Structure 1
């Protein structure tokens, strides 16, 4: 028993020190990204690292593919974009504090019944996952996602959360963020996107590698129309004036 106590206290002290260091590091990381745009995300690095060898844009054989990513401030993006993202992904974004428990409960019920998988993640949760974490399905990652969701809701404004989301969300094969997507699909900057174009980009977000904004099929068009109906129902861009003026 004496030997146990002899080693247990130093071990507990080391564990507490490690946990404190991890906590302070995570808080510092979130605070830095409150003002600084991420140079890349884990998913961007993964897409780049696991891309097959093939011909580049000019027919030159190259390793991997180029990541398209150009971070823009919210005032450099059409107001229809954040509205479309809220209409498509998280209509309670301005009201909740990171989690939509009714959506989570519905997702658990549907998935448990063996129907097609649906997600219940809010925009805040998706930002936590996309910016700070690796992709995958595990209880450890979900716990980390919840932790970072709480941190960004505490330390960032809703404007910053939305700004981060529309810049790091994957919108096509190696295409990240609305600016890169607007240039690739519509040959224009993101500040000139129309409501229909913003709705199309938001509609393909759940599976941007399957539903392509460059060549939308009937399913993508149906999603686009549903997003546009939600945008109108929310009241248009007046609905998001609070985060635009924050």
Structure 2
């Protein structure tokens, strides 16, 4: 009995190494975050994404927004072609990053954009607006995941539903009625080109009262949409 009591007294309480503890739980937390992100992105291959962070900001600022989700099957095909022609003509030929555009942007000294439609979809759907290295890093990590989990048609569908077309007007479903008072399935080539021309600057441009520059840009987009239809660069997102 005395020997047993002595052994109990001499038993040491294990000491916790704080660095090892934090490293272990940090790794577990990071793994959980990755699993959640992957699960959400994969689920959105079929499920409609919720309203975006930027939509929430604008709703808080303006009091309300106009937003209507529509399936790509309910949108005139020329709308998708116009968006791709305006934003990312080589959309069907890359895996999320257009390396040629990136090289051109570097050679140009950063004076031109190189973001693909896939990158813009990730930013608009999951991240926030504004310039920051953290956002760009997350965008770069999530873009290949979206390309892997979704097909090209789904990327175009989500993009045209979360893009802002006027102040507080989100998605082609709301924009078609806001500007032209028609359903998205009734959009003409001219309507689609004007909507696509608005996208880089929705607060500074109007598809209803286009400037001379906007009209010229819309004509260029119409030509581009017809071109990618003819040469097969629209095949990846059309039935």
Once the two structures are TM-superposed, the CA of residue 230 in structure 1 deviates from its matched residue by 1.1
Offset, 1:32: 1.9
Quote the Cα distance in structure 1 between the aligned partners of 2:85 and 2:75. Answer: 17
Structure 1 contact 79–237 (Cα < 8 Å) conserved: no
Cα RMSD for the two superposed structures: 1.8
- 2:186 is matched with 192
Question: CA contact under 8 A between 1:167 and 1:177: conserved in structure 2?
Answer: yes
Q: Within 5 A, what are the aligned runs for 1:97-108?
A: 97-108=95-106
* 1:126-160 deviation digits (Å, cap 9, x = unpaired): 00000000111111100001111111011111111
Matched residue SS, 2:49: coil
Which 4+ stretches in 1 moved above 4 angstroms? 236-239
Q: State TM-score, norm by structure 1.
A: 0.86
Count of residue pairs the alignment pairs up? 225
- Give 1:2-41 correspondences, 5 Å limit: 6-41=17-52
Measure the CA separation in 2 of the matches of 1:205 and 1:179. Answer: 14
Aligned to 1:67: 65
The answer as to whether partners of 1:69 and 1:179 remain within 8 angstroms in 2 is yes
- Residue 182 in 1 paired to residue 144 in 2? no
Task: Extract unaligned runs of 5+ from structure 1.
Answer: 52-63
Matches within 5 A, 1:115-154: 117-154=111-148
SS of residue paired to 1:50:
helix
1:189-225 Cα offsets, whole Å, 9 max, x none, are 0001011110111111111111111211112111101
